[in-house]
Structure 1
């Protein structure tokens, strides 16, 4: 399994809009992607994470090239919901 961790800030006055966007736009978009397994929407104060689980690194790379992903990112960026800097990290499980 490969994990993609997206970190962002969310305007506290927009949290209901953020949750609605996640339910109505983000999650359905992820479910359309090849190799997508699961998504976790996590929060600690004003910091938010979306941890998605994928079959392979190639599936995550295909996400970045997806038209539906680009449209979702654009709509969220234009919504005024997000604050601060967004980051993405790719994490892998290790067999021990």
Structure 2
């Protein structure tokens, strides 16, 4: 989960530097909001997939996954929450 948090924080820093440098906060809002929605959608899909399949590898095999689906979904939720910060700033400063 640390890797996804670091990646999301780097994206936040890049978006804030772009926003402060160009004063185009509408771009920051679109990019951060879009990426946040994609991350939240992926997390929701993985939670539904865990509900259906559990931690099996595929639908027709019983092999366990090396990384559990709940851990993978939490990584996407962390990234989505981190990307909400520049999206809200872009919305307020637009």
Q: Which category of TM-score, normalised to the shorter sequence, fits these structures?
A: 0.3 to 0.5
**TM-score normalised to structure 2 length:** 0.33
Give the structure with the larger helix fraction. Answer: 2
**TM-score normalised to structure 1 length:** 0.32
Give the structure with the larger strand fraction. Answer: 1
